[in-house]
Amino acid sequence: MNTLNKKTSLQKSILIPKFLLYLVFALAGYSCSSVPPTPIPALQTVSYVDLDRYLGKWYEIARYPHSFEEGCFGSTAFYEKMEDGKIKVINRCYMNSLSGELNEAIGKASIVDKNSNAKLEVQFFWPFKGNYWIIDLDKNYQYAIVSEPNRQYLWILSRSPKMEESLLNKLKTKIKNLEFELKYLSLAP
């Protein structure tokens, strides 16, 4: 009987680390993109971002596909300065249609490059962080293009929910010139 209890305790002690290992792999897979990395040439950010002007509400116009936005319609991001100098990030979308259930993710962003304010790290849940690089920005802060160093994530953001087709085409040309694959870019539903 004592041997059985030891075996059960041993099995339980092995089961817990296995569960943690599966959890880590599942969460790592959660953050994976379906777009392959494109590391060359090095991606550049804008030279400077006035964070006070960047704060507020942005509408997603186009994006690369990724699992954490699957089924999202009418996606928005809201940025708000916190007392500790970090930026509160509130991402919202409606699930499966514009009349679907509201889905919200709240995170924090930290400025990585304080000279430009164009490189940030965003964290929605510990311990995972993601790069948030502002690679193009309208002089009047009416649109922005956001990505990360490996070009696996990409968003075109606007202060208004719709963007003129001529401006969108201009931004697509910029994106293509920065070595992004336009075949992965899709308009936000």
User: Residue 84 and residue 101: Cα distance in Å, rounded?
Assistant: 32
User: Residue 59 and residue 43: Cα distance in Å, rounded?
Assistant: 23
pLDDT at 147 over 90: yes
The first and second tokens of residue 38, run together, are 């494109």
pLDDT at 187 over 70: yes
pLDDT at 17 over 50: no
Where does the pLDDT of residue 40 fall: very low under 50, low under 70, confident under 90, or very high at 90 and above? Answer: low
pLDDT at 128 over 90: no
Which residue has better confidence, 35 or 164?
Answer: 164
CA atoms within 13 A on the CB side of 20: 6
Asked if residues 103 and 125 have their Cβ atoms less than 8 Å apart, the reply is no
**Is pTM beyond 0.85 here?**
no
pLDDT of residue 46: 94
Please state whether the peptide bond connecting residue 41 to the residue before it is cis, i.e. omega within 30 degrees of 0.
yes
pLDDT of residue 131: 86
In this predicted model, what pLDDT tens digit does every residue of 59-100 receive, in sequence order?
A: 999 998 886 777 788 899 999 999 999 999 999 999 988 888
Distances (CA, A) of 9 to 12, 14, 15, 22: 5, 9, 10, 20
Does the domain spanning 51-187 belong to CATH 1.10.3210.10? no
Asked if residues 54 and 38 have their Cβ atoms less than 8 Å apart, the reply is no
Number of H helices, E strands in the chain: 3, 9
Residues paired with 134 in a beta bridge: 146
pLDDT of residue 42: 86
Spatial neighbors of 48 by CB under 8 A, at least 6 apart, are 115, 116, 117, 118
